[in-house]
Chains A and B, each alone.
Chain A
Amino acid sequence: MKIAIASGKGGTGKTTLSVNLSVMISEKLNTEITLIDLDVEEPNSKLFIEAEKQKEEIVNVMVPRWDKDLCDNCGKCKNICEYNALVGLKNSVMIFPELCHNCYLCSDFCPQNALPMVPMKIGVITEYAKGKLKFAEGRLDVGIEQAVPMIKATKKYAQGDSFVIFDSPPGTAHPVIESVSGVDFVILVTEPSPFGFNDLKLAIETMRVLKKSFAVVINRANDEFKDINEYCEKEKIDIIAEIPDKKEIASMYSKGKLFYDEISVPLMKIYDYIKGKKWEK
């Protein structure tokens, strides 16, 4: 079973939940689990997990390179690129690899094979292991604009694993869609505030468009703001667990410490909920 932990808003506790849940499952419940950090622009899971590095893989995307000697200036590539990554000038071709979306169109259409596709590094995936926990992190190089290919490559590390948690990026755009694609279930983490509530509604709408089954976990739960509880009840969305708002938890988080013992009750609720689901094959 593959679970994505996501949220519309950043800073609600996606990583907190992902790392504490994964380590609790591997260490306390002695169960094999894979955690994949897909927040490739700002991957943070590793800050909380002490684990041994297993291997590192450089992730490349394929971009065209202009081969001056083969080019006969036929001009076929001139206006072909939808991303303006390739500009045909009078006697030369200029390529802006950072704008390229790796569609191969220009390369395949060049009659002289003068635009071969060559690798360009966009980031690194690092794989770690700690007992029954397998953990991989995708890290996009700073200044690289395309997060989606990095997310795709990182997801492959979970191939064949039976129990996987994906720590997803925030938002509702393509990176999130790529992260939740193919997963069985999505846990949406929110916080009880007008910001949290607004972004949760966006995230719920996204999951509905994608036809994903999902439920909600409320982090930093308090009694002051109950709009989310009322909304979920009305919309018939399960709130699986509420993690209490405690300054000690915030303080442990600030130091990069795990605290699954402090929140074992809500974590076990989440675990039981996932286990109790009837997964469609």
Chain B
Amino acid sequence: MGKIKEVVIISGKGGTGKTSVTASFAVLERENCIVADCDVDAADMHLLLKPDFRNKKDFYSGKEAVITPELCINCGKCEEVCRFDAIFQNEVSYYVDPLKCDGCKYCVYVCPVDAIEMKDRHSGYTYISTIKTGATMVHAELKIGSDNSGKLVAEVKDLAKKSAKMLKKEYIIVDGSPGVGCPVLSSLSGAKFVVFVTEPTVSGLHDLKRVYELVSKFKIKSGCIINKADLNRDMTEKIKEYLKAENIKLLATVPYSEYFKKSLREHKTIVEYEGDDEELQNIKLKIRNAWDKIKEVLK
């Protein structure tokens, strides 16, 4: 067996079909892959892949300041130095709003009576599960208001890599995070191939360009799936031109189809949805071909 090949699917913009595509790839690859859901802010892939939520683990990231009210002398020095406006005074003492505290520890250093201590911040859970195809899936749950989902994403990726090594799997298929900031940076680390899922809308193209600006810095091979391609044919052409200019491989153009919604409502990926209809067969074939193209590039 060769090296582990990590494929990360991202979109910049939400709602383009990223998770549906990722889950389809995972189903096509059956047991020969590890699946990772790095869209930890709004994790949805479990709805399609049905993991058993086994091996739940607490996830701690960073620290938060906690004031012991009995020790506080109400001098207010901590409030003065806090750049995150996280410290307030009540009738008894000063206290820290954990949703605002960034964990910089400045207050601890200035407190004259050592009334403040740093505690590990519980920011969510990770899971290593078995999904309906028998493959292993790593996923997570972010606690509300956690400072940085990037760290949880890094943890999910790390667990996925370890699982792939241990179970000797060739592929890691990653549902990436949205946006262009810290979480998506974390989901891209170590990727061998990046798939952009976009749609032919002004915002789809705008967000694709921004996220590609980020990906191009890492020099990772990339390909693109244009979903809902018939929604705006001019825009689809524009996206194709852009892909050509930037040397991004066009993996598939998939038409707008009710079958995506239908399969989703039954908690199935589109490649599992059964029916003889030509439209459905056509979409299934396109997605299968896209995955084959990716594997070909990674050979």
Contacts and interface: CB of A to CB of B under 8 A. Distances in A.
Interface string A176-209: 0100000000000001011100110010011001
Contacts of A171: 41-42, 149, 178
B44 interface: yes
A253 interface: yes
B133 interface: no
Contacts of B104: 82-83, 101, 103, 105
Contacts of B255: none
A41 interface: yes
Nearest to A11: B15
A140 B214 CA distance: 12
Contacts, number: 168
Q: Which bracket fits the contact residues of B?
A: 35 or more
B50 to A, nearest CB: 12
Contact of B182 (A146, A172, A210, A253): A146
A105 B105 CA distance: 8
Q: Which bracket fits the contact residues of A?
A: 35 or more
A234 interface: no
B146 A174 contact: yes
Contacts of A205: 144
A105 B267 contact: no
Contact of B42 (A8, A15, A109, A144): A8
Contacts of A251: 231-232
Given A11-B13, A170-B178, A172-B144, A44 B149 contact: no
Contacts of B267: 194
Interface of A is mostly: loop
B13 A195 contact: no
Instruction: Choose among A11, A83, A177 the residue with the greatest number of B CB atoms under 10 Å from its CB.
Output: A11
B15 A42 contact: no
Nearest to B102: A101
A147 interface: yes
Contacts of B13: 10-11, 42, 44
A47 B214 CA distance: 21
Nearest to A194: B47
Interface in B184-235: 185, 199-204, 206-207, 210, 213-214, 217, 228, 231-232, 235
B112 interface: no
B62 A82 contact: yes
A97 to B, nearest CB: 14
Given A142-B213, A171-B149, A173-B148, 9 more contacts: A10-B42, A11-B15, A12-B15, A41-B210, A42-B13, A44-B202, A177-B99, A199-B42, A254-B204
15 contacts: A9-B15, A42-B12, A82-B103, A103-B104, A105-B106, A140-B181, A146-B182, A147-B182, A171-B41, A171-B42, A174-B147, A193-B265, A199-B44, A254-B200, A254-B231
Interface of B: 12-16, 19, 41-42, 44, 47, 62-63, 81, 83-84, 99, 102-106, 109, 142, 144-150, 178-182, 185, 199-204, 206-207, 210, 213-214, 217, 228, 231-232, 235, 256, 261, 264-265, 267
